[in-house]
């Protein structure tokens, strides 16, 4: 195995390419399940390196297989390629050219870092022990996600371990973080339409007011976590959208409420789902309204393998310093990397990409989100070193 210093030097040489790739992707984002041109462009770069590329995996995904000349394990590395339905409000030369769509979560950086990993491995097959399988996954941002179909189409067949990195702006550039065991939450999405009886604002007694019913439900839902869930088990129920009515003096006949349920264990997940249905049924019944309710089951929790998380702390500590390698708290955000970890041992890791001096201070999914692009080198280096440390073991 090459030394960490050598790998870092090779990746530093690729850094200008990473910046160029990332900025191209940032200017030309595509939404989940629509990554047609993104996928084609990534394939062109990979083929230019001389990589063996399988296209159209799980939709618009790509799979790169790099077989070393020495015997060893199969290690998979994954990046996501999709963008978000957000208007880019940054004032920079590489802002999105697509109205209402932008890379507001760093997936452009993930893709560029994994392209650098592909270039490195392709040039060093003679010293490579085993196989490195690089997964460029579509549709991480929208359930049911892209991971499931890619797994169904064989990307994890015979894989011994898998690693993934998320560039994370809340962590300063130079730092890394993860957590053994449950790391990121399961996230489910629900939509409720309350159907009442509209009418004149001056004659409420002749109506069934869905705004009143919806407001009562929003208040009642807040009691689920506070009064039904074990306080030692993390959970959150969020109402993200409440839409009803059209004008001042008309009582709304319909009200649409949307929200999410985030949990870390199946028992709590099931409990919240049941309590939501009970509250909806009885509240609407009490006011004389009908309803249409749908719960979409989202990603399971991200659960890092204990041994592979331990590998991260050792490898990252050697690369970036123990003082810059931290144990994260559990987080309520979700990630479909969880599906890979249900199949094979691995670790999902955060690489710091925040920097006040460069303006990389905004939260993920913010219209002015950006990253310190140097973090892409750290991401690529961490992925390679994790894979090589596993192979050496």
How many angstroms separate the CA atoms of 167 and 369, rounded?
Answer: 12
Which residue of the set 30, 35, 80, 82 is catalytic? 82
Chain region(s) in the chain for CATH 3.30.70.360: 188-296
Q: Which residues of 81-160 form beta strands (DSSP E)?
A: 129-137
CB proximity list for 347: less than 8 A, separation 6 or greater? 163, 164, 178, 304, 305, 308, 309, 311, 312, 386
CB proximity list for 154: less than 8 A, separation 6 or greater? none
Q: What is the mean pLDDT of residues 196-216?
A: 98
Chain region(s) in the chain for CATH 3.40.630.10: 4-185+301-392
Dump pLDDT digits (tens) for 86-105: 999 999 999 999 999 999 99
Which CATH number among 2.60.40.1260, 2.60.40.1760, 3.40.50.10490, 3.40.630.10 corresponds to the domain 4-185+301-392?
3.40.630.10
Dump pLDDT digits (tens) for 179-199: 999 999 999 999 999 999 999
- Residue 328, number of CB atoms within 10 A of its CB: 17
Q: What is the mean pLDDT of residues 232-259?
A: 97
Residue 280 pLDDT > 80: yes
Among this protein's residues, is 305 annotated catalytic?
no
Say which CATH architecture domain 188-296 belongs to.
2-Layer Sandwich (3.30)
Which residue in this structure is represented by tokens 């009418």?
199
What stretch of H or E contains 108?
Answer: helix 107-123
Residue 5 pLDDT > 80: yes
Which residue of the set 80, 131, 140, 372 is catalytic? 140
Among this protein's residues, is 389 annotated catalytic?
no
Residue 291 pLDDT > 80: yes
Size of the chain in residues: 393
Q: What is the mean pLDDT of residues 248-257?
A: 98
Residues linked to residue 327 through DSSP beta bridges, in sequence order: 178
Of the candidates 144, 146, 117, 121, the one whose C-alpha atom is nearest the C-alpha of residue 131 is: 121
Three-state SS at 57 = strand
DSSP state of 66: E
Confidence band (pLDDT; 50, 70, 90) for 2? confident
Dump pLDDT digits (tens) for 101-136: 999 999 999 999 999 999 999 999 999 999 999 999
DSSP state of 142: S
| Burial class of 389 by CB neighbour count within 10 A (0 to 12, 13 to 18, 19+) | middle
Q: Which residue has the higher pLDDT, 125 or 2?
A: 125
Tokens, residue 183: 């790391």
According to the model, what pLDDT value does residue 271 have?
98
Of the candidates 110, 114, 112, the one whose C-alpha atom is nearest the C-alpha of residue 133 is: 114
Residue 241 pLDDT > 80: yes
Q: What is the mean pLDDT of residues 21-41?
A: 98
Which residue in this structure is represented by tokens 């595509």?
30
According to the model, what pLDDT value does residue 71 have?
97
According to the model, what pLDDT value does residue 360 have?
96
How far from the centroid of its chain's Cα atoms is residue 127's Cα?
Answer: 33
How many angstroms separate the CA atoms of 387 and 393, rounded?
Answer: 10
According to the model, what pLDDT value does residue 261 have?
97
Measured in Å, how far apart are the chain's first and last C-alpha atoms?
Answer: 11
Dump pLDDT digits (tens) for 295-337: 999 999 999 999 999 999 999 999 999 999 999 999 999 999 9
Q: What is the mean pLDDT of residues 201-205?
A: 97
According to the model, what pLDDT value does residue 16 have?
98
CB proximity list for 380: less than 8 A, separation 6 or greater? 11, 14, 18, 113, 114, 116, 117, 120
How many angstroms separate the CA atoms of 305 and 284, rounded?
Answer: 44
Residue 1 pLDDT > 80: no
What's the mean pLDDT when you consider all of the chain? 97
Q: What is the pTM of this model?
A: 0.93
Q: How far is CA 328 from CA 162, 182, 231, 335, 339, in A?
A: 20, 11, 20, 16, 21
């Amino acid at each position: 195995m090459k030394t960490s210093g050598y790998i870092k030097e090779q990746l530093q040489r690729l850094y200008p390419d990473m910046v160029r790739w990332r900025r191209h992707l940032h200017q030309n984002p595509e939404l989940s399940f629509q990554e047609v041109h993104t996928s084609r462009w990534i394939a062109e770069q990979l083929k230019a390196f001389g990589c063996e590329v399988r296209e159209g995996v799980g939709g618009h995904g790509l799979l790169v297989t790099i077989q070393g000349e020495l015997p060893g394990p199969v290690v998979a590395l994954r990046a996501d390629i999709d963008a978000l339905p957000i208007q880019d409000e940054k004032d920079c030369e590489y802002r999105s050219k697509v109205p209402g769509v932008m890379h507001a979560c760093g997936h452009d950086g993930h893709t560029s870092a994994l392209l650098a990993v592909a270039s490195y491995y392709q040039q060093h097959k003679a010293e490579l022990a085993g196989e490195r399988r690089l997964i460029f996954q579509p549709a991480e941002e929208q359930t049911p996600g892209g991971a499931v179909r890619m797994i169904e189409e064989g990307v994890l067949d015979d894989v011994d371990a898998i690693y993934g990195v998320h560039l994370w702006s809340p962590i300063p550039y130079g730092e890394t973080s993860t957590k053994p065991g449950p790391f990121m939450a399961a996230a489910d999405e629900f939509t409720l339409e309350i159907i009442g009886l509209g009418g004149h604002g001056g004659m409420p007694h002749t109506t069934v007011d869905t705004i009143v019913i919806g407001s009562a439900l929003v208040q009642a839902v807040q009691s689920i976590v506070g009064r039904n869930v074990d306080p030692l088990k993390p959970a959150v129920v969020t109402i993200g959208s409440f839409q009803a009515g059209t004008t001042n003096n008309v009582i709304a006949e319909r009200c649409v409420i949307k929200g999410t349920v985030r949990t870390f264990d199946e028992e709590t997940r099931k409990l919240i789902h049941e309590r939501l249905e009970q509250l909806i049924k009885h509240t609407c019944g009490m006011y004389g309204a009908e309803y249409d309710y749908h719960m979409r089951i989202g990603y399971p929790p991200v659960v890092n393998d204990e041994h592979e998380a331990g590998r991260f702390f050792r490898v990252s500590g050697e690369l970036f310093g123990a003082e810059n390698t931290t144990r994260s708290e559990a987080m309520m955000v979700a990630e479909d990397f969880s599906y890979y970890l249900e199949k094979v041992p691995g670790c999902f890791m955060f690489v710091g990409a925040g920097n006040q001096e460069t303006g990389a201070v905004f939260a993920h999914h913010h219209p002015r989100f950006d990253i310190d692009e140097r973090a892409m080198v750290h991401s690529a280096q961490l992925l390679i070193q994790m894979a090589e440390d596993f192979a050496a073991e």
